[in-house]
C-alpha cells in the first residue's frame, strides 16, 4: 500500500511526497486516510478512522515529548498499544511515514533524517527487524513476455531454492512462478518487488543496525 511521507523539521511539517494529500500546512495535514497536527512544542498526533463490518476502528500515531505510541481502538473496547518506544532529544528532524490499507495493519514510523538518507542511498523502502535466515517466498508473473510482477532477493549469506511451482493461467495469458528460497549464514536479505517494471518495494530484513551492514545492493 502507498505510504505518505512527511518531512518534519523545526517542529513543522515542511514537505511531503504527495500521496493522497487533501490539504497541508506547516501545522496540519490531511492525507492518505490520516488527519495530523503538530503543536508548538513539536508534539505530533495522527489519527485515522475506518469502519469495518459496522465497527469503528481508530488508529492513532503520536509522539509526545519523545514517547512514540501507536494505539488501536476497536469499537467500545479499551485501546491497545501496538507499538511504544522513546526517541531521544525530541523534537528532532526526520521523516514521518503513514501507510494506507486495512487500518489494523497500517505502516507507521518516524525516521531520523540521517536514517532516511541512508535508506534512500540504497533505495530501501522498508526495514523489517527480523532474522534474514529464513524461508523467503518470491513470485514472478509473466504476461506475454513482460513481467507484471517480479520479486527477487539478494543476500550476503547462502541461498537455496527449496521449492518452486509453475502455473499457467491461460485465461489471462499469465505464467506464474512461485519459489521458496532458504537463506542461511546471512546478516541481511533484501527483497525487491517490481510491478510492471517499476520499483514497488525494496525491503531489508535484518536484526543488526542497518547502517552497520556491508555490501548492501544499490540496485
- Measure the CA–CA gap between 216 and 185, rounded to whole angstroms: 15
- Convert the pLDDT of each residue in 118-170 to its tens digit: 999 999 988 999 999 999 999 999 988 888 999 999 999 999 999 999 998 88
Same domain, 21 and 114: yes
Domains identified in the chain, total number? 2
| Arithmetic mean of pLDDT over the chain | 93
Distance, CA of 63 to CA of 131 (rounded, Å):
28
Pair (88, 164) in one structural domain = no
User: What is the DSSP-derived secondary structure letter of residue 25?
Assistant: -
Q: Are residues 139 and 168 in the same domain?
A: yes
The secondary structure of 185-197 as a DSSP string is S-S-EEEEEEETT
In-domain check, residue 28: yes
**Cα separation, 147 vs 39, whole angstroms:** 47
Which residues, in sequence order, are CB contacts of 103 under 8 Å at separation 6+? Answer: 33, 48, 49, 50, 52, 57, 59, 72
**CATH number, domain with residue 205:** 2.60.40
Task: For 172-185, write each residue's pLDDT tens digit.
Answer: 788 999 999 999 99
Last residue of a domain, one of 81, 99, 122: 122
> How many CB atoms are closer than 10 A to CB 4?
23
Q: Cα separation of 147 and 154, whole Å?
A: 19
Same domain, 114 and 154: no
Q: Are residues 43 and 117 in the same domain?
A: yes
In a domain, 219, yes or no: no
Residues 91, 146 within the same domain: no
88, part of any domain:
yes
pLDDT band at 219 (very low <50, low <70, confident <90, very high): confident
99 lies in the same domain as 167: no
Distance between alpha carbon 21 and the CA centroid of its chain, in Å?
Answer: 18
Nearest to 165 by CA among 146, 191, 137, 144: 137
Of the candidates 122, 145, 170, which is a domain's last residue? 122
Answer whether residue 1 shows pLDDT above 80.
Answer: no
For residue 119, give the nearest of 193, 204, 215 by alpha carbon: 204
Q: Specify whether 110 is located in the same domain as 46.
A: yes
Enclosing domain of residue 30: 3-122
Write down the pTM of the prediction. 0.78
Tens digit of each residue's pLDDT (9 = 90 or more) over 61-104 = 999 999 999 999 999 999 999 999 999 889 899 999 999 988 98
Quick one: 81 and 148 in the same domain?
no
Percent share of the chain, pLDDT over 70: 100
Q: C-alpha cell of 76?
A: 467500545
25-37 pLDDT tens trace: 999 999 999 999 9
What pLDDT, on the 0 to 100 scale, is given for residue 2? 83
Amino acid at each position: 500500500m502507498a505510504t505518505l511521507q512527511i518531512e518534519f523539521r523545526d517542529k513543522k511539517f515542511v514537505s511531503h511526497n504527495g500521496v493522497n494529500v487533501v490539504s497541508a500546512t506547516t501545522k496540519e495535514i490531511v492525507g492518505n486516510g490520516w488527519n495530523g497536527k503538530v503543536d508548538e512544542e513539536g508534539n505530533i498526533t495522527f489519527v485515522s478512522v475506518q469502519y469495518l463490518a459496522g465497527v469503528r476502528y481508530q488508529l492513532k500515531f503520536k509522539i509526545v515529548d519523545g514517547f512514540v505510541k501507536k494505539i488501536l481502538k476497536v469499537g467500545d473496547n479499551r485501546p491497545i498499544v501496538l507499538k511504544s518506544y522513546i526517541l531521544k532529544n525530541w523534537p528532532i528532524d526526520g521523516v514521518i511515514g503513514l501507510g494506507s490499507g486495512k487500518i489494523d495493519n497500517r505502516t507507521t514510523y518516524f525516521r531520523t533524517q540521517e536514517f532516511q538518507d541512508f535508506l534512500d542511498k540504497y533505495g530501501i523502502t522498508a526495514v523489517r527487524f527480523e532474522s534474514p535466515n529464513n524461508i523467503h517466498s518470491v513470485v514472478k508473473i509473466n504476461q506475454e513476455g513482460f513481467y507484471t510482477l517480479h520479486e527477487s532477493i539478494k543476500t550476503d549469506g547462502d541461498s537455496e531454492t527449496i521449492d518452486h511451482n509453475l502455473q499457467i493461467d491461460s485465461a489471462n495469458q499469465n505464467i506464474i512462478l512461485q519459489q521458496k528460497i532458504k537463506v542461511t549464514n546471512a546478516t541481511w536479505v533484501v527483497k525487491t518487488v517490481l510491478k510492471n517494471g517499476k520499483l514497488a518495494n525494496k525491503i531489508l530484513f535484518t536484526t543488526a543496525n542497518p547502517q552497520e551492514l556491508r555490501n548492501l545492493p544499490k540496485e
